[in-house]
Amino acid sequence: MRTEQSKTIYLKDYQVPDYLIDETHLTFELFEDHSLVHAQLVMRRNPEAGAGLPKLVLDGQQLELLELKLDDRELGEGDYSLTDSHLSLQPTQDRFVVDSSVRIHPESNTALEGLYKSGTMFCTQCEAEGFRKITFYLDRPDVMSKFTTTVSAEQHAYPVLLSNGNPIASGGEEGGRHWATWEDPFKKPAYLFALVAGDLWCVEDSFTTMSSREVALRIYVEPENIDKVQHAMDSLKRSMKWDEEVYGREYDLDIFMIVAVNDFNMGAMENKGLNIFNSSCVLAKAETATDAAHQRVEAVVAHEYFHNWSGNRVTCRDWFQLSLKEGFTVFRDSEFSADTHSRTVKRIEDVAYLRTHQFAEDAGPMAHPVRPDAYMEISNFYTLTIYEKGSEVLRMIHTLLGPELFRKGSDLYFERHDGQAVTCDDFVKAMEDASGQDLTQFKRWYTQAGTPRLEVSEAYDAAAQTYSLSFRQSCPATPGQSEKLPFVIPVALGLLDAQGNELALRLQGESAAQGTSRVLSVTEAEQTFIFEGITAKPLPSLLRGFSAPVKLHFPYDRDQLMFLMQHDSDGFNRWEAGQQLSVQVLQELIGQHQRGEALVLDQRLVTALRTLLEDESLDQAMVAEMLSLPGEAYLTEISEVADVEAIHAAREFARKELAAALFAPLWARYQANRETSKTTPYVAEAAHFARRSLQNIALSYLMLSEKPEVLVACVDQFENADNMTERLAALAVLVNSPFQAEQGKALAMFADFFKDNPLVMDQWFSVQAGCPLPGGLERVHALMQHEAFTLKNPNKVRALIGAFANQNLINFHRADGAGYRFLADQVITLNALNPQIASRLLAPLTRWRKYGSARQALMKAELERILASGELSSDVYEVVSKSLA
Ligand code: TRP
Ligand code: ZN
């Protein structure tokens, strides 16, 4: 619960540590009703911290101190002081050794931070500040130490004992116990420490690095999951190869281990040499995991592996620099996925996610810069802004410098800072030094929050044959920041003539054209670029590949958008034109609904989608992406005041109209793809993802017709598919349909067949939690009583409650506020069990400013109720208080 810790911490107050820890020797004795941790810290005064010997203040929470020694001298109560968060003592010389013994209770740790039990196994999660719940320490990332760890446990229940680095010794003890010692030769901050003890099986493989070193690769899972690790292993080997080829980065230890655990607050953790993963991000095989899950496993394996350089070898000086490792590593893993599958589809998925969720965060009460300057609880800052917007900032540097100079910059960064804890400024400096470019103004992306708005207007001068584009940028106020200075906005663009050909681009003052697609740097609040030698008014294709995380506005009409959908050479912008067309059409329907008029769908959307569906030469994944109308959450984000009912009604109406008008081509594409699926073994590759995604989105439209032949096809796909992608899609379609009998039967069959597979049951919960039909809240209530559900498992909370509050907007935002009351109740319960999960779960309530006054009042009342509910964790307190402020 809240301690003196929940004060606000400021970047400007950063000071180097008074003391350093050269060596850390840990011994863990694990028992069923408690565990003992002995720590020997070999310390010295930090020469950079000035003269004298200040008090040594160690972090420590929920630790029962049993013994404390300074240089072998036992300290009594008068020799130290102890609060609920710190242990202070007075060193008497520059170099000294602190020995402590503490008792902790992993067996009752439901916060899943520090040392805890997941099922029968022991595991750890130390980032960001979990190590202080294991032992007294300088728990900050700029204190880096060499760790040796001995783990002792009962042999039968915990045959596998793991920690970071290399195993150096092991043996038996009396009483059926055994021990193992691990040594990590690399200095690391405590947040990268890990320990695992359990009854685990492993799949073993090896990788030969570019300098011909053999690395042993091991993925540890509970025995029943041993058949679901091959995909993660293949992904790991592809990641290791990619990082060598694209960044010149080689793995550095002789062994790399991944352990899958069922109870985990996030996706995975990059502990040195011993990554610990949420089992949802490791386990995947065709029968139990969807295509999306396969891609997530691959991306998270890559992400955590890439952290070995971007995070571990070069780490963060303090937690304000979190995006230094997270933004960079997300950029690296997204490029890996783009290179491995379809670049355009990956970009579409990432941008759709960013614009729906990160833009909402950036417009809400928790908005913060990519490098925040204050926080109360650092766990609350593992946000979409740090990760996804941070990745966009790196992508813009890549765009501005080009791939060669960017690589020169990353080489310099890794070389210059290997073994150090550094800042975002250090990263940018390496990019500047390697490229010779000045990124001073660009760095505003790190310090100013909010999503910039970029308005573009055009002017054509037929006599002068010039075409000019004028840009006007602005950025809304965010908490603590009212005035914003202009950003550097890289705008990739092209110009199309009336036939859809790309024009050669020559700016005023240039002697020759420079290609047909180029990047303009918009650096001023208002700025005009003039293209010369333009013989007829062109149509601009702006912000190609989404070259900057901004809200672009250009007054396209619907015919122009249809033209871009067909002719733009940039695949991302073809999709984007389709999205903008859909948004215009849907907003028109929303207006009709609000005025009580009959809804009338603009037939141009039908025509545009028909053209795509009938063109078999197009990438099927692209067709599927184009068929997916903008989601309700995105329509909410771009509304001034979101009208929940109108948004839902408009989108459902459009889907039904499209389904009716396009029944024949949808049915043809569905049947062709389903036939191929029946005769093709499951492969986790782009072309197969593409086929299944078009098949499944077609099925979801077709079912809206309620035709018996579609129902038969859907039930057949549900019952006979040999993979989870087809089976789950069919189940979701049934659940959202009016066919009660078939739906009940399918849900029961599915639950019976997969009852022993918690990850599959998560999917079963999510599909029902997301169903927009009336009675959603009652269904969620009932599902919470299901024997497979528990509030103690974060995956279950996300699958049921999270999916309901984030994806089932029409039910969550029920006009009577019952959805809000339900969510607040769960937050209050979870606050005591798992503060990190409680605080994440409450995000939808913090968006109250988006809604009409009646909903605003109901949402605020629930936030007030949480605030008054008793002793709040710093996690929940920070989010609730900031969102009411
Ligand atoms: N560093 C982890 C990553 O790769 C994030 C993470 C994992 C985390 N577990 C956590 C952050 C628990 C906070 C709390 O993204
Ligand atoms: Zn990460």
The continuous run of DSSP H or E covering 672 comes out as helix 663-679
Q: Kindly state if the Cβ of 304 falls inside 6 Å of ligand 1.
A: yes
Full residue range of the structural domain in which residue 476 is found? 453-554
The answer to whether 842 and 880 are in contact (CB under 8 A) is: yes
Q: Which tops the pLDDT comparison, 5 or 173? A: 173
Which of 113, 191, 269, 383 gets mutated to test ligand 1 (max ligand atoms within 8 A of its CB)? Answer: 269
Is 505 contained in some domain? yes
All residues at 6 or more sequence positions from 766 whose CB lies less than 8 Å from its CB, including other chains: 799, 800, 803, 807
Specify the pLDDT at position 512: 97
| Average pLDDT for 522-540 | 98
The conformation of residue 785, written as its DSSP 8-state character, comes to T
pLDDT at 767: 98
- Which residue's entry shows tokens 């008014």? 537
What's the pLDDT tens digit per position in 698-719?
999 999 999 999 999 999 999 9
| Amino acid 654: pLDDT | 98
What pLDDT is attached to residue 5?
A: 45
CA distance 458 to 553: 12
Residue 534 lies inside a defined structural domain of this protein: yes
Q: Which two tokens stand for residue 542?
A: 């702006």
Amino acid 121: pLDDT:
98
pLDDT, average across residues 122-130: 99
Assigned token pair, 678 = 């029946």
The mean per-residue pLDDT over the stretch 797-823 comes to 98
Q: Using CA atoms, how far apart are residues 139 and 58, in angstroms rounded to an integer?
A: 8
Read off the CATH number of the domain in which 549 is found: 2.60.40.1840
Write out pLDDT tens, residues 406-417.
999 999 999 999
Q: Is the pLDDT of residue 2 over 80?
A: no
Q: Give the separation between CA 16 and CA 12, rounded to whole angstroms.
A: 12
Q: Whose CA is nearest to atom 1 of ligand 1?
A: 269
Report yes or no on 847 lying in a domain.
no
Q: Tell me how far apart the alpha carbons of residues 253 and 272 are, in angstroms, rounded to a whole number.
A: 9
Residue whose C-alpha is closest to residue 118's, from 127, 104, 106, 105: 106
Q: How far is the CA of 853 from the centre of ligand 1 (A)?
A: 37
Q: 6 pLDDT band (50/70/90 cuts)?
A: low
Query: Across-strand partners of 671?
Result: none
Output the CA torsion 829→833→834→840 (10° steps).
0
φ, ψ (nearest 5 deg) of residue 148 = -125, 135
Separation of CA 390 and ligand 2 centre (Å): 11
Q: Is 382 in the pocket of ligand 1 (CB under 6 A)?
A: yes
Average pLDDT, the chain: 98
Measured from the Cβ of residue 655, the count of other Cβ atoms closer than 10 Å reads 15
Structure token digits, residue 166: 């290399």
Does position 162 have pLDDT exceeding 90, yes or no? yes
Q: How confident is the model at residue 471 (pLDDT cuts 50, 70, 90)?
A: very high
Distance CA 106, CA 140 (A): 22
Query: Residue 590: which of 648, 637, 630 has the closest Cα?
Result: 648
Percent of the chain with pLDDT over 70: 99
The answer to whether residue 333 sits within a structural domain is: no
Does the pLDDT value for residue 1 go beyond 60?
A: no
* Mutation to probe ligand 1, out of 115, 125, 332 (largest number of atoms < 8 A from CB): 125
What pLDDT is recorded for position 630? Answer: 98
Residue 501 domain-assigned?
yes
Residue 624 lies in a domain: no
Question: What average pLDDT score do residues 335-354 get?
Answer: 98
> Could you give the dihedral angle defined by the CA atoms of residues 144, 254, 391 and 298, in that order, rounded to the nearest 10 degrees?
-140
pLDDT of residue 714: 98
Q: Rounded mean pLDDT of 363-390?
A: 98
pLDDT of residue 180: 99
696 in a structural domain: no
Domain count, the chain: 1
Model pLDDT, residue 870: 92
Q: Does residue 4 have a pLDDT over 50?
A: no
Q: For 597-651, what is each residue's pLDDT tens digit?
A: 999 999 999 999 999 999 999 999 999 999 999 999 999 999 999 999 999 999 9
pLDDT higher than threshold 60 for residue 3: no
The pLDDT of residue 364: 97
- pLDDT tens across 561-594, in order? 999 999 999 999 999 999 999 999 999 999 999 9
- Single pTM value for the model: 0.98
25 domain-assigned: no
Ligand 1 touching residue 127 (CB < 6 A): yes
CB 369 within 8 A of CB 448: yes
Cβ distance 16 to 46 under 8 Å? yes
Is the CB of 89 inside a 6 Å radius of any atom of ligand 1? no
pLDDT at 362 over 90: yes
